[in-house]
Structure 1
């Protein structure tokens, strides 16, 4: 019994020694490829990460995501090259991995759509953290942009988390992207009031407020002829940060100024004629 065990051990040892002798060159080559390939992959991945992080076109979240893909892709290439040294058919392995990736992609289609939308948002930058936006039914200030969702603080102070797909697939209005914006005020005056006087009063109000920009210069115009009034418009430009308070102040001052100047802001009126029955 002991002799059989010795012979079995001896046979295994001989087979192992024979196999090592036959594949010594391949093992050495595979080890060299593994060591040097791993070092090269690490150097390249660090270089790619540094380039992406320093690029103004990429958000830090996108830079981390892309650098991770590059890093693990290089490592996968090194492992495939090592397996090829032993005669392993990597094409079949890649086919299996591809099939698994397709199945996972179909199962996580919605999630991957959010990731793709997140990458596009972070790359194209239709909005940034701290900017106020309006997209569909969503209005608020952007708090955080992630790969899956974007967090906003609504103007009423409520927190909202929006899937990136819902933001990317519709028009996005960014209230803070440009440094200046236009404000237009429309007010109705009576048909018996002077249009020239109303325009002059509006321009005087605009000129008296230092928040109103002189370039582009303010303009006042007749906007419409309505049933009960003549629509007079004032169009001005201001710094984006001054827009809200300036619009409130001017609206209030126009009412007070028109009252002082005797310019009426009429209520809707309708003339009704009754005829006596025959």
Structure 2
């Protein structure tokens, strides 16, 4: 059984040889599988809007949605560090509202830390949540909740000016008290520089190999989705495997070759022919 990683453990990995890994997970069954693997962290992300609820994006996911999925993941993965995501609308009204929603996710969901999107603009929110006693993971670069402002899911930080803004944001969230920051959808060269220049670990998704750690959406890397972003390596092709299994089951059931005798309860009932 693996030992559960902690916030100090994660921070100690900065610049070290240990490279913790994180994957998304949204339900009890898959959380059990992650817990039996060597994966260190689970993100119960608002990506559940697309992977579990069928939304076109992450906007629309609620605090209650996050809490519901988080508490079941925590049950399934007691030896894995679990991060609860703050959805759109849960921290952009006021700092007081943000702390209240973070408290709900942290206590009702039972997770080990909170994640929220945004850079310099959300630094005061991060500071308040940390002051309230909750570890915070920041998230900059391509931020799906505000992708409409970016013209869609596009790589960020490609100009010198945009790169400087992201570096400034990384510094701001670190100074506000975030213990880790996700870098999503930015050039590897920029991610390398941010990783070198800030004191907290970076978690990359579409940000190259120079980040301190990596994260992927489970459904993407397991090959369950038709389309995946460029940065995703498919480590399995479960979509094909699952569809083939469904079709084989359908064929055998239709042909009445399933269930065979091995899959039946074959107790003998004396006198069954006398049933009226």
Whether TM-score is above 0.5 comes out as: no
The interval holding the TM-score normalised by the smaller chain is under 0.3
Name the structure, 1 or 2, with higher relative contact order (CA <8 Å, separation 6+).
Answer: 2
Rg larger in structure: 1
- Structure having the larger proportion of residues in helix: 1
- Structure having the larger proportion of residues in strand: 1
